[in-house]
Amino acid sequence: MNKKGTSVLQIDMDAQELFGEPNFRGTPERNLLMAVLERAILDFVGNDEKEVISSEEWIFGELDNPEYNEFSFPWVCQQLDIDVNFVAETIRNMPKRGSRRVAPWYFQKTDGTELKKAG
């Protein structure tokens, strides 16, 4: 936890570019888009079949011919300045939760002083 008592969800070393200095927080709009993306990822690796199918359609549905409609996966990635194909491939390779309640997750909460990938 940082001095303000909040934690930051960490993705990898490139995630630092998504957050402004000095407190590693972005604008409210950027935080909203990150939350939308995070929810889709959590649904994709989850064990609820309807959520998995819905998130899979949203994430991978327009990859071959992205239209960049508002709040589509390609549009969200574009707004966050992240490579849509790299993120989609990373998500596709994430381990599924299966019957466990907790996903084998790559995200880690830290005190904001360092960005690292959980192993």
| Domain spans of the chain, in order of start | 27-97
Neighbours of 29 (CB within 10 A): 9
Listed residue (100, 85, 103) closest to 38, CA to CA: 103
More confident position, 43 or 66 = 43
Q: What is the pTM of this model?
A: 0.62
**Average pLDDT of the residues in 76-80:** 93
| Helix extents (H) in the chain | 28-45, 49-60, 73-79, 84-92
**Average pLDDT of the residues in 70-85:** 93
pLDDT at 103: 53
